[in-house]
A and B are shown apart, each in its own frame.
Chain A
Amino acid sequence: MKKRSTGLLIAVVALLVVQAGLQMRVFPLWQKNYAPKTATPVGLSPEQLLVAVAGFREFMAGILWVRADGFFDSGNYDAVLPMLRLVTWLDPHNLDVYATGAWHMGYNFTDEAQRSDRRYLLPALKFLEEGIQNNPNVWDLYFEMGWMYYHKIQDPVNAVPWMYKANEFENIIPARRHMLAHALFKSSQFDQAVNTWGRLLLDAEKERTKDWESLNLYDVRQKNLEDTILDILRRYGPNAETQPPIDMGFDAKVTVVRPRVILVEGTLNIPTIGARVTVILRNKGQKLDYTPKALETFTLEVDPNLTYMQDSLAVRDMKFRREIDMSKDPKMYSFKAPEYEVEFIFDPRYASPNIQDRIGSDGVGMTDRRYLDTSDPSARMLRKVVTITREEILMLRRGAE
């Protein structure tokens, strides 16, 4: 009896070792194929966790997502964010949640004057990066990332690699392919932009006669290719309309009119409408690093001590002027730092086409005696930085221009 027990005990130990070896082989494959990747179940109540492990993950994620949408409709954005975290843990392949969640973070957290809280752009990019890690074989989130750079951050240079990646997929919506060419053009890679339009046109030509949609796609691509070539010829060809460069006479100033309220005004010698000057107020020296790698892991927290305001000012009659009130949103504009810099930027890449016809989309047709900035290889810009102190902006003492 004792001998048999010893034999069984040895068998148990041997089997324990074998199953451990097998589990160690299975685990890396589980991590690759089935693990929720970087998301963790933090924030789930025990009953939610029970339901989640009981196999209703995607169903529960769907219910939570419907609920989150309800919060969004009622303007309760703060409640949306934790739900994003839960939903993506439960269902890491729910592309809608990643795309819509990043959009919420990037666009919908605003102050009283509908200015985005740009501190949330980094979490938005990190959230998209996590989505891409969990879904590397679908084009959607690569495109969303590219769009965030192209449209929200207005950084076409960093949009290009993501658009290239999205374009590698066969099943991408055909019209979405166009964004690569647009991003290339805006980042002054004109040859690649023309090549991309040409390639897209050849693709569309193959199925041109298939149906109305295919014919329309062909027409759109043909028109874009022609317009792009025409724009390049007019702006950069012989007898270019962008030459000689015009002096933009750019200047800007900041006046603190009330505590946390500034008046920004200036001049820009562009006689037509359609030009916009970007104004950024931020803690001195704290430029936002818009790369997903700037965050170790995705977090819903933003730096409460960072004040970062960005607005876009329309230029009319060669002047721009706006009063910016930051007194109603102390959570966004905490003014904890001792010094702030107010940066004024005119970026020709995002100017209207009629203005680009004169100065070029890369600013080749503009100059400025004082504020021309040529540090960005993709475009010449106008940039002026004004420093103000905390005392000045809070009007703790006089003299704040």
Chain B
Amino acid sequence: MNATFALAGATFGEAIRKRILLVILLAALVILLISPAFEPFAGRGQRTLVISFGFGIIQLAGTFIAIIMCTGLIPTEIERRTIYTILSKPVQRYQFVLGKLLGAIATLGFVYLTMGLMFLLITRWTLGEFDPKIVQGLIMFFFQSSLLAAVTLFFSTFVSPLVNYFLSGGVFLMGNLMSTFLDTIQRNPEVTPLTRIPVQILTVLLPNFANFNIQNPIINPEQVLTDEVAYLVQTIAYAVIYMVLLLVASILIFNQREM
């Protein structure tokens, strides 16, 4: 297990030194800082602007960082041939993949902590209040990005980084929209089972990223939610189980790989 944590630490150290990731993080922080200035462009009060825009920036930055960071995690090691050095030591392949994923999640944790603190400061400063629900939203986005990191890492075990960008981005988009499509289809009595059933299957199989988008009731606090805690717990459990699933699948593929 020490080897896994050592790998995770090395991955984290390497990730936070990457210029591209730092640039994205810095840009997100600057945009968060100046976000109250965008008020004239939005139609609804400052609360909507600051919270919606802030969550948007954080989610976007988290998504880009997760994809950019994880596409290169395994292929770069192979390209640089450092993987041979690592695997020649008493390190199992599963430990290598697990270490990479834990390192990526730790990096995302650091990124979300930095952006989250800035976001909370901005909301406290502009709205004059500290809304604990914002932390809920940030936690959910962290799990969303972590799941996306697991998806990207899974693809990185068998496709090139360039293909992985599009593949992970596509899965993220689909995973965000499938629930809405299924919901629309279920409400439309004219849709035949021939259309509905494949969409249902796809919604259940694909990682559902829309589950983590809980910002709307935070922006509109007058909305009363049903079983909110149960929802949050189940959604986090869903993220963890799906990440384990992807990790096992990644290990399975990585074990088969000739090096």
User: Which A residues contact B (CB, under 8 angstroms)?
Assistant: 1, 4-5, 8-9, 11-12, 15-16, 18-20, 22-27, 29-38, 40-41, 49-50, 53-59, 61-66, 69, 91-94, 96, 135-138
B248 and A55 contacting across the interface, CB-CB below 8 Å: no
| Contacts known (A30-B231, A137-B222); A58 close to B60, Cβ less than 8 A | no
Residues of B within 8 A of A23 (CB): 203-204, 208, 211, 238
| Contacts known (A5-B255, A16-B245); A55 close to B56, Cβ less than 8 A | yes
B44 and A58 contacting across the interface, CB-CB below 8 Å: yes
Residues of A within 8 A of B228 (CB): 33
Residues of A within 8 A of B252 (CB): 5, 8-9, 12
Given contacts A1-B255, A57-B215, A137-B223, 9 further A-B contacts (CB under 8 A): A23-B208, A30-B179, A33-B228, A55-B60, A56-B56, A62-B42, A62-B52, A63-B43, A93-B220
Residues of A within 8 A of B219 (CB): 58, 91, 93
Docked pose: A259 CA to B244 CA in angstroms = 75
The 9 A-B residue pairs whose C-beta atoms are closest, nearest first, are A62-B42, A55-B59, A58-B52, A65-B43, A56-B56, A93-B220, A15-B245, A62-B43, A55-B56
B238 and A22 contacting across the interface, CB-CB below 8 Å: yes
B176 within 8 A of A: yes
Q: Which residue of A is nearest B40, CB measured?
A: A66
Docked pose: A65 CA to B52 CA in angstroms = 15
| Contacts known (A29-B234, A53-B177); A24 close to B204, Cβ less than 8 A | yes
B1 within 8 A of A: no
A33 and B226 contacting across the interface, CB-CB below 8 Å: yes
B187 and A18 contacting across the interface, CB-CB below 8 Å: no
Interface residues of B, CB < 8 Å — how many? 63
Q: Which residue of B is nearest A94, CB measured?
A: B44
Q: Which residue of A is nearest B223, CB measured?
A: A93
A35 and B180 contacting across the interface, CB-CB below 8 Å: yes
A34 and B213 contacting across the interface, CB-CB below 8 Å: yes
B48 and A62 contacting across the interface, CB-CB below 8 Å: yes
B258 within 8 A of A: no
Residues of B within 8 A of A29 (CB): 226-227, 230-231, 234
Docked pose: A22 CA to B235 CA in angstroms = 8
Residues of A within 8 A of B217 (CB): 33-34, 93
Chain B window 73-84, contacts with chain A (Cβ cutoff 8 Å), 1 for yes, 0 for no:
000000000000
Report A42 CB to chain B, min CB distance, Å: 9
User: Which B residues contact A (CB, under 8 angstroms)?
Assistant: 38, 41-44, 48-49, 51-53, 55-60, 63, 141, 173, 176-177, 179-180, 182-184, 187, 203-205, 208, 210-211, 213-217, 219-220, 222-228, 230-231, 234-235, 237-238, 241-242, 244-245, 248-249, 251-252, 255-256
Docked pose: A34 CA to B211 CA in angstroms = 8
A22 and B241 contacting across the interface, CB-CB below 8 Å: yes
Residues of B within 8 A of A32 (CB): 225-226
B43 and A61 contacting across the interface, CB-CB below 8 Å: yes
8 Å CB contact of A38 from B187, B205, B223? B187
A34 and B214 contacting across the interface, CB-CB below 8 Å: yes
Report B191 CB to chain A, min CB distance, Å: 12
Report B139 CB to chain A, min CB distance, Å: 15
B213 and A4 contacting across the interface, CB-CB below 8 Å: no
Residues of B within 8 A of A18 (CB): 241
Q: Which residue of A is nearest B55, CB measured?
A: A55
Residues of A within 8 A of B249 (CB): 8, 12
Residues of B within 8 A of A66 (CB): 41-43
B241 and A19 contacting across the interface, CB-CB below 8 Å: yes
A54 and B227 contacting across the interface, CB-CB below 8 Å: no
| Contacts known (A5-B255, A33-B217); A54 close to B183, Cβ less than 8 A | no
Q: Mind listing 9 A-B residue pairs with CB under 8 Å?
A: A15-B244, A22-B234, A27-B203, A54-B60, A55-B55, A57-B52, A93-B222, A96-B44, A135-B223
Residues of B within 8 A of A137 (CB): 222-224
A54 and B245 contacting across the interface, CB-CB below 8 Å: no
Residues of A within 8 A of B223 (CB): 33, 93, 135, 137
Docked pose: A26 CA to B44 CA in angstroms = 30
A91 and B205 contacting across the interface, CB-CB below 8 Å: no
Residues of A within 8 A of B141 (CB): 55
Residues of B within 8 A of A56 (CB): 52-53, 56, 60
Q: Which residue of B is nearest A29, CB measured?
A: B231
Report A128 CB to chain B, min CB distance, Å: 17
B176 and A53 contacting across the interface, CB-CB below 8 Å: yes
Report B193 CB to chain A, min CB distance, Å: 17
Docked pose: A138 CA to B220 CA in angstroms = 11
8 Å CB contact of B43 from A15, A25, A69? A69
Residues of A within 8 A of B225 (CB): 32-33
B56 and A54 contacting across the interface, CB-CB below 8 Å: yes
Residues of A within 8 A of B211 (CB): 23, 26, 30
Report A365 CB to chain B, min CB distance, Å: 46
| Contacts known (A53-B176, A66-B42); A93 close to B238, Cβ less than 8 A | no
| Contacts known (A15-B245, A19-B241, A23-B203); A53 close to B173, Cβ less than 8 A | yes
Q: Which residue of B is nearest A53, CB measured?
A: B176
Report B41 CB to chain A, min CB distance, Å: 6
Q: Which residue of B53, B58, B180, B205 has the most chain A CB atoms within 10 A of its CB atom?
A: B180
A59 and B42 contacting across the interface, CB-CB below 8 Å: yes
A26 and B42 contacting across the interface, CB-CB below 8 Å: no
Docked pose: A248 CA to B41 CA in angstroms = 57
